[in-house]
Amino acid sequence: MDVLEILGLVAGICTSTASLPQIISTIKTKKASEVSPFMFIVLLAGNVLWTWYGLQKNDLPIIATNVLAVILDLVMLYLRFRYRKNK
């Protein structure tokens, strides 16, 4: 693995895990009425497309970090609909 791949992985991890504070907060408070599901649906679509792009280019940093982002997007959407009525 070269420096450019490491840089790509670090950058991807930073952006992919950006939703973690929201996920953690939602789990702790069990409140998600203020979370925009549309935003996470758009993020999910973009991350799925990035994953597909990474697979076509056989680019590990793109694939790995966007698979992580897809999982986190799905978790947040699940939490949003599970706790949508809690205020």
Neighbouring residues of 49: CB distance < 8 A, sequence distance ≥ 6? none
The pLDDT score that the predictor gives to residue 75 is 97
Q: Is the pLDDT of residue 86 over 80?
A: no
Q: According to the model, what pLDDT value does residue 48 have? A: 98
The per-residue pLDDT for range 3-20, each reduced to its tens digit, is 988 998 899 999 999 999
CB 40 within 8 A of CB 32: no
Q: Kindly state the tokens that stand for 9.
A: 């992985």
pLDDT digits (tens, 9 = 90+) for 20-77: 999 999 999 999 988 999 999 999 999 999 999 999 999 989 999 999 999 999 999 9
- For 2-14, letters b (16+ CB in 10 Å) and e give eeeeeebbeebee
